[in-house]
Each structure stands twice: as C-alpha cells, then as structure tokens.
Structure 1
C-alpha cells in the first residue's frame, strides 16, 4: 500500500524532529503529502499578563498559536531536508491526541506518525501518552518512531 498523505505530530522538541524526519523520508519515498501537525493549549490569562509585562511588544511570541507556528516552521526545515516533496502545516488548539486524530481525519491521512516519547514513563502508563492515545483512536495506520536515546 502506498501512502498518499502522511501526518506527523511535532511539539518543536529534538525528539519530535526525529519523527518528522522519518515521516518526511517516507513521504519522499512514496511521493506523499506530508502534514506537519502541532497542538497547542491556550495560555491562562494570568500567565499571558505576566509574559506581557516581562516581554512587552514581544509577548505575542509566547501566546496563542505563535509557539506552535514556530515549531512547525522549524519542523518544515527538517522535513524538506529529509526529502518531503509537499509539506502542509497545521496548528490547532487542543489536546495533542485529539488534534492529531482530528487533523488526520480532516486531511485524509493514510498514516499518522508520532514519536515514542512518553510510552515508557509512569505518567504515560497511568494517564495515557500521545502514542498510546493515537493508536487507540486513529482510523488510519499509525507508525511510532523510536525518537528517544535510551534503550538502543
């Protein structure tokens, strides 16, 4: 089966960029569109006000979708370097699992790619991690990329 649309989640971390690179290489090899997805949560008003006081006119850089947009721009560089021919950026407010599953459905993704970070943590086992959550809820194939340094 050839994948036509591959969606990968990123939060701007180095480990998530490993998943982006893997997804981009796969998209490049199959000629698929790569959708880079980033979920973000709204900033509490007290936190936003404190940031505005400290950062002044630069406060926009830490509020709203700006951090997610910045993460997506950085992820695009990794994706292009890894060979993705067609890259789409998608930032959406919400919890990571909800956003990834929703965006995968909306974009008609054949494959959803996430990193394994969180699978082996106590919090991940008790509360559910992003990789675990998407494997249970996605209606497409899911690829979990080994993105952490431990265990290899």
Structure 2
C-alpha cells in the first residue's frame, strides 16, 4: 500500500514542567537520537494546534488539553533542509520543511506511553541537560528558549 507523501509542515512540541524539566524520547529508527515530540500535519487543513495536540497524544499518550496542561504556540518557525535519508517520505523535489514550535507545560514529570514503532525510551531532564542531549540543533535551540519565554510557559 502506497502512502501519500508527507506534508512538509510539522510541529516540534517541547513538553516541560514549570521548573523546566523537559521530556525527551529516543527514536526507534535512530538509536541515540533524542528529541521532543515532532510530527507532520496529516492533511493541509489541519491547524498547527491540532497537529501539536495529535502528535503529543500519538507519541506520549498525554492529552495536551487535560486539566493542568497548557499547550502554547510560541509563534516561532524553523525552515530546515530535510535529511536526505528521510526525503523519500515527501513528494519529489521537496527538500525543506517548515516546523512550528510549541510548548506543553505539565504540572510535573509524567509517565508516558510510547509507541514502540516510533520511540524506545523516554526521560525527563533539566532544560540545559535536555538541550545537550538532543540530536537536532533546532530542537536543542527550542529547549534553550524555555527560560527566556517566561509567562508564555505557564
């Protein structure tokens, strides 16, 4: 069965606590690749916020809209070149992706339910350690924004 090409619009959701502990998950297809929640829009009309909430649920089992959780669109975007090994997922000629940044503040480090086809491990780290652990420079940079975002987080 052929899958339709991925839409080159995705979200990055930094899940964190008020004291700036950050959840990272390790990719199943790239051991050692630690990241925040990421994922592409399922269809062009899906809003950024819908994509963020769906990806959080799919990758962690967390409800972004549960009481005590605050999903925030940071109003920031990255445009980056898609790694060559993943370009086959997109339409021919697509080489760049637009990534919208979100934060999800949860009251405390929570247990998560990983999809074993996508991720194999999870952990909560203080923000600076989490940023160092990330494979993706744009993900590390997003985590480094946490202390500067102040009131947007909670």
Q: TM-score, normalised by structure 1?
A: 0.27
Relative to its length, the structure with more strand (as a share) is: 2
Relative to its length, the structure with more helix (as a share) is: 1
Q: TM-score, normalised by structure 2?
A: 0.27
Which protein is bigger by CA-based radius of gyration? 1
